[in-house]
Amino acid sequence: MLNTRVHQSEVSMATDTPRIPEQGVATLPDEAWERARRRAEIISPLAQSETVGHEAADMAAQALGLSRRQVYVLIRRARQGSGLVTDLVPGQSGGGKGKGRLPEPVERVIHELLQKRFLTKQKRSLAAFHREVTQVCKAQKLRVPARNTVALRIASLDPRKVIRRREGQDAARDLQGVGGEPPAVTAPLEQVQIDHTVIDLIVVDDRDRQPIGRPYLTLAIDVFTRCVLGMVVTLEAPSA
């Protein structure tokens, strides 16, 4: 039996990324997971739009059984989130405990450069794009985001939009669902969710039994079956 020491506080990590939420995919009830998936199917395309009118919001509200105001709240959470289904889990609030983001000016720089420099036929690499973000942030005396942070912002983009802007309309057609919605997940391994959870224990060193920190559990979970495809435990905070 593993000898552990439970500690109430979280380990402070030197990173520009938010703390990992205590609740992840592995601990969600089935009902909450299904509701989050349904929300993501409807809200994610809206979050990729520059503006969302009342008509589109009302249609989403009717489909989800929510009010128009709640739909706009979910859209904001999706835009500010990590691009995961768990961003839209019922009962979670955007920007609260365990939920953080870069300063708004830095987010704005990344967003503008994504539109002007990354989503182009030049197909800049992540490394090249991060260098451009770094240059602009330094010029504006802003904090430079980590490369993994920028990578996550790219990963949160609608894949259809990325392919269409970088590869062309023909290349994006295979990713287009009926009625402009993302293709439904209908079989195992069609979509895999990567999720991080803080483990509720403290790791201690084997000689002096001094606390080292709380480990992070990263799971790769098949969205269709919810089977765990892989996992890793580390003391290093996952990049976001």
pLDDT tens for 70-81 read: 898 898 888 877
> Best-predicted range by mean pLDDT among 121-125, 170-174, 198-202?
121-125
pLDDT given at position 172: 57
Task: Give the largest Cα separation in the chain, rounded.
Answer: 64
| pLDDT tens sequence across 39-81 | 888 998 888 887 888 888 899 999 998 888 889 889 888 887 7
Nearest 5°: the CA angle 150, 99, 78 is: 65
> What is the band of 101 on the pLDDT scale with cuts at 50, 70, 90?
low
The residues that bridge with 231 in the sheet, in sequence order, are 219
Locate 90 and state its tokens: 């019922």
Domain-wise residue ranges, the chain: 25-102+145-234
Structure tokens given for 212: 């080292």
Token pair 């939420």: residue: 21
Three-state secondary-structure class, residue 192:
strand
Q: Higher confidence at residue 156 or residue 149? A: 149
Q: How far apart are CA 209 and CA 205, in angstroms?
A: 5
Provide the pLDDT for residue 133.
Answer: 94
Residue 25 has pLDDT above 70, yes or no: no
